[in-house]
Chains A and B, each alone.
Chain A
């Protein structure tokens, strides 16, 4: 009895002391070590049709790694809705996994927290060198001029998926190469009673990916070269407006899509309700929904005129997943070994094939699995016409504020309110003012 009470009093004193000294993330300042060389914890992002599918894909590979190195990897597949919060929690507390997947667009934001092992020449050397990776993928691993915070793992790009049968019925012989063509084709498709193009209007990240490309095509950027937000730049306003106008004015995106946030537009496409879809690596997704590979074609995302390329001809963001090492890992050496394993040619082939993504590793790309007509478009896009989202520390805030602005604009458009240059500028102005001052 007495000892419990003592313990209780001790606990209070302790917690009071902690509060008073206001110490932060505990051991997080200390950095990593090699204390437990036999185990690793790995947080994988949800890439497959479900968490169960991911486990099925990854577990055999982890077993292979254990056979090679004797290191046991504890796998947790984290759903996207939780991933960023979990990473933040891990960063704040210093207690997290050893190795983890991150959305590549978060690289610069997470880099700023200083929680990840920087990939300097020495560390890159341990996994075979920086030049094993494709340039476009490396462009989305952290702020320019700093050592990357993560290493590319899977690459993806946007493409235009179109339903061959709907196109044939509507008398359209080839997929649209420009937005004007897409709108014109839309009229024919609507005449056949199908909807034209899908969008995830309430999905903040999807919105960002698209308006980013629209801005690029206008020759504009959301950030100035020195990293300051520039959302009200007239060209940016124009770009955002023309994306929302696909619903508001051109009426190719159905108004119902304004509330989509859980990939319902992919289902609409898979079910043959809708003729086109702009998506990254949708093949495995469509297959799991029972759409056969012959039923749809894949073409580059439209541009304003001409063909996709650099500069104003950009037609996709560099999408993908990076793999990062948590600085606080108690098995830094093993963690780097694991990254080496995951980016090895064999694993790159197996994993990217399973997830129908493109390997960011050059030598793995040449494999026959990535030379099908479907992947050829994605590979081509990544190599020539994809641009990385701004690599600035406030990128994640940018996604939230501008993505929400676009969501609200879609809601307005769906409710039948006019979308004008002024209304778009007003939303973007608000978004810009919510960005951190620094």
Chain B
């Protein structure tokens, strides 16, 4: 379809497209505009009647957010947790997906079904048990999982694992087997074939999975609120600190939300090309 010229489209199609996309753009952008404009408003503007345009612009909220709550520390925590969870999740998913994609073995079906079915577990079901498990492991082995970044990393990487494995299986399946057969013949072991042939060919899929894993970890609220303390708190929970104040400093909340969002959104948009390509070959064959 993309090869055909747009000129060939009937007017009805072009008009309906124009209207639909305009409305949709409005729907998508209004909250974004509110976030940006409110973050630049003085407090009086955000605690009174809503106004589309600020009465005056101020960067004050952007300065204040760092002192009202230890935002910098939360930021660092989130970066460490989300970064490590992403890295490990991708690594583990690549191995697992390679095994499923390239080998026939007993229990393969059980494995894929089990892993995928964890997608439907309500988080609330295993929140408390997981928490108890971490505490017990901590007591028995001295490995601090509860309250530590490590525990959170472990939890989050597992959250994104099922979807990642499933997507990568699809992607690896689309990489011709002849390629790694050839590598095996050339003297690479199976792992060599994976690392030298399959992984490079699957970069878009891997990037897509990494983006997904990072976003999952970056935004999670429920587990983070129970499993962290002041020193390990992540942004998603830490941001709530702005509304425990006497007054709700909406301009600061918006400024902080924006600061928190910019890295993810920027990264996401930069990598979106890979994302579509990765999904095309991986998830939706």
Task: Determine whether B32 belongs to the interface, using a CB cutoff of 8 Å to chain A.
Answer: no
Within 8 A of A (CB), among B92-107: none
**Which residue numbers of A lie inside 8 Å of B, CB to CB?**
11, 14-15, 18-19, 23-27, 46, 49-52, 76-82, 85-86, 89, 92-95, 262-264, 266-267, 270-271, 285, 288-289
What separation, in Å, do the CA atoms of A46 and B244 have in the docked complex? 8
Kindly report which residue of chain B lies nearest to residue A287, judged by CB atoms: B246
Taking CB atoms, residues of chain B closer than 8 Å to A285 are: 246
Q: List 19 A-B contacts (CB under 8 A).
A: A18-B136, A18-B140, A26-B135, A50-B69, A51-B241, A52-B67, A77-B230, A80-B244, A92-B128, A93-B135, A95-B147, A262-B243, A262-B244, A263-B246, A263-B247, A263-B248, A264-B248, A267-B247, A288-B246
Kindly report which residue of chain B lies nearest to residue A19, judged by CB atoms: B133
What separation, in Å, do the CA atoms of A24 and B135 have in the docked complex? 9
What separation, in Å, do the CA atoms of A82 and B240 have in the docked complex? 10
What separation, in Å, do the CA atoms of A289 and B136 have in the docked complex? 46
Establish whether residues B132 and A25, one from each chain, have CB atoms under 8 Å apart when the complex forms: yes
Q: A52-B67, A288-B246 are in contact. List 12 more A-B contacts (CB 8 A).
A: A26-B138, A27-B139, A79-B244, A93-B132, A94-B135, A95-B135, A95-B138, A95-B147, A262-B244, A263-B246, A264-B247, A285-B246
- A267 in contact with B246 given A26-B139, A27-B139, A76-B229 (CB within 8 Å): yes
Kindly report which residue of chain A lies nearest to residue B134, judged by CB atoms: A93
Establish whether residues A93 and B140, one from each chain, have CB atoms under 8 Å apart when the complex forms: no
**Which residue numbers of B lie inside 8 Å of A, CB to CB?**
47, 67-69, 128, 131-133, 135-141, 146-147, 225-226, 229-230, 237, 240-241, 243-248
Establish whether residues B133 and A289, one from each chain, have CB atoms under 8 Å apart when the complex forms: no
Taking CB atoms, residues of chain B closer than 8 Å to A270 are: 247
- A289 in contact with B241 given A93-B135, A94-B135 (CB within 8 Å): no
Establish whether residues B133 and A15, one from each chain, have CB atoms under 8 Å apart when the complex forms: yes
What separation, in Å, do the CA atoms of A26 and B226 have in the docked complex? 18
What separation, in Å, do the CA atoms of A95 and B144 have in the docked complex? 11
Kindly report which residue of chain A lies nearest to residue B244, judged by CB atoms: A79
Establish whether residues B137 and A49, one from each chain, have CB atoms under 8 Å apart when the complex forms: no
Establish whether residues A76 and B230, one from each chain, have CB atoms under 8 Å apart when the complex forms: yes
Contact check: which of B69, B140, B246 meets A51 at CB < 8 Å?
Answer: B69
Taking CB atoms, residues of chain A closer than 8 Å to B47 are: 267, 271
What separation, in Å, do the CA atoms of A78 and B231 have in the docked complex? 12
Q: B148 to nearest A CB, angstroms?
A: 11
- Closest A-B pairs by Cβ, 8 of them: A93-B135, A26-B139, A79-B244, A76-B230, A285-B246, A267-B247, A18-B136, A262-B248
Q: B92 to nearest A CB, angstroms?
A: 12
Q: A30 to nearest B CB, angstroms?
A: 10
Establish whether residues B133 and A89, one from each chain, have CB atoms under 8 Å apart when the complex forms: no
What separation, in Å, do the CA atoms of A150 and B146 have in the docked complex? 26
Taking CB atoms, residues of chain A closer than 8 Å to B146 are: 93, 95
What separation, in Å, do the CA atoms of A263 and B47 have in the docked complex? 12
Establish whether residues B136 and A26, one from each chain, have CB atoms under 8 Å apart when the complex forms: yes
Establish whether residues B241 and A79, one from each chain, have CB atoms under 8 Å apart when the complex forms: yes
Taking CB atoms, residues of chain B closer than 8 Å to A93 are: 131-132, 135, 146
What separation, in Å, do the CA atoms of A394 and B35 have in the docked complex? 41
Contact check: which of A15, A23, A81, A85 meets B240 at CB < 8 Å?
Answer: A81
